[in-house]
Amino acid sequence: MTEHMNIAVFASGSGSNFQAMVEHETIRPHIKLLVCDKPGAKVIDRAEQYGIPVVVRRQADFPGKESYEQDILKHLQEQTITWIFLAGYMRLIGPTLLHPFSGKIVNIHPSLLPDFPGLNAIQQALKAGVRETGVTIHFVDAGMDTGPVIAQQTVPVLPGDTENTLQTRVQKVEHTLYPETIVKLINK
């Protein structure tokens, strides 16, 4: 791994995946920035605890998506970011960020894509009555959870599962699969 692997994590929520990355000793030194679009999100506290710089921006405070992403791009460039890992960032990435980071933006999704894309993937799996679901890590393109798959791991759906119990099982897999995949990607 070279000195030039500078990671920004984009997250909007709790940040348990962000925490799993930060706790991984190979990844930790490369995390230079957290970008968050939800003031007050728990992930912001986690970043501050680890002394990781945070940029909090609400798209609603900008005239549109392009100017919002231009502002974020400026911060990414200031930190010479080379990889973006989305971890519960609940927005589509627009061309302003996709073009300069082509092939360098990765997302984690709590289903076996192409099954159950978009919101509430755990709920969708329960409703569909599938016996297994899982976790997908994929490159980001302009679509919703549509880019090329990098890694997948299955998770069983057990009789009596609720959204909570299934989500807990899925997230446990996320917290090892994402860091492992990141290490492989940035080592290439």
Catalytic residue among 24, 109, 138, 175: 109
Partners of 105 in beta bridges: 84
Is the CB of 16 or the CB of 153 nearer to ligand GRF?
16
Q: At what angle do helices 121-128 and 163-187 cross, to 10 degrees?
A: 120
Q: At 110, list the tokens.
A: 């709590």
Is 109 an annotated catalytic residue?
Answer: yes
Q: Does 124 bind ligand GRF (CB under 6 A)?
A: no
Q: At 11, list the tokens.
A: 């997250």
Q: At 17, list the tokens.
A: 């995946």
Q: Does 134 bind ligand GRF (CB under 6 A)?
A: no
Q: Does 108 bind ligand GRF (CB under 6 A)?
A: yes
Which residue in the set 17, 27, 47, 157 belongs to the binding site for ligand GRF (CB under 6 A)?
17
User: Which of the ranges 22-30, 59-67, 106-114, 157-165 carries the binding residues for ligand GRF, by CB under 6 A?
Assistant: 106-114
Residue 127: its H or E element = helix 121-128
Task: Provide the minimum distance between the beta carbon of 19 and ligand GRF in the complex, in angstroms, as a whole number.
Answer: 8
Q: Order the strands of the 54-56 sheet from edge to edge.
A: 54-56, 31-36, 7-11, 83-86, 105-109, 132-139, 149-156
CB 117 within 8 Å of CB 145: yes
Which residue in the set 88, 134, 147, 179 belongs to the binding site for ligand GRF (CB under 6 A)?
88
Q: Does 14 bind ligand GRF (CB under 6 A)?
A: yes
Distance CA 95, CA 51 (A): 30
Catalytic residues: 109
What residue ranges bind ligand GRF (CB under 6 A)? 11, 13-18, 87-88, 108-110, 171, 174
